[in-house]
Amino acid sequence: MSDINWLAIIAATLVPTVIGMLYYGPVLGKHWLDSIGKTQEEMTPANPAVTYGLAVVMAFVVSFFLRAIIDVMHRDVMDNGDIAYQSFQTFGHGALHGFFICLSFAAPVLISYSLYHKKSAKNIILNVVFWFICFALMGGIVDAWR
């Protein structure tokens, strides 16, 4: 991997937290709570510091490896046969990579997990769409901001 922009990794790490506050809050919070049959009070973590702290650590892992995977995927063969890395560095291109990485890894895991835990179709869709949004935004940030 080439030089890493740690500010981009940190910014991408914050995406699930910021988007989650909106998505699972005022935007679709009521629908999400209905989909799991819980109230807001029931969903309050017993230990918020541990819950949110581990969520941020996991988002950091996703951000870091999104950057690594996108870096590896950015290869063009030059006319002389040399491999050129980082040939596309735009938000849209990174978002596309993030979307497809979610489609190929995160979404199948989320869907399988949810099916075995007997989650409703509404809940599965809400959660998978959330992660598609997050992976796309995170991929866009780490690709464009080098």
Domain-wise residue ranges, the chain: 6-144
Burial of 47 (0-12, 13-18, 19+ CB in 10 A): exposed
Taking the complete model, does pTM exceed 0.85, yes or no?
yes
Mean pLDDT in residue range 20-31: 96
Taking only the tens place, the pLDDT of each residue in 43-86 is 999 999 999 999 999 999 999 999 999 888 776 666 666 656 55
Taking only the tens place, the pLDDT of each residue in 87-96 is 578 899 899 9
What single DSSP character describes residue 103?
A: I
3-state DSSP assignment of residue 44: coil
- Helix and strand numbers (H, E) in the chain are 6, 2
What single DSSP character describes residue 80?
A: T
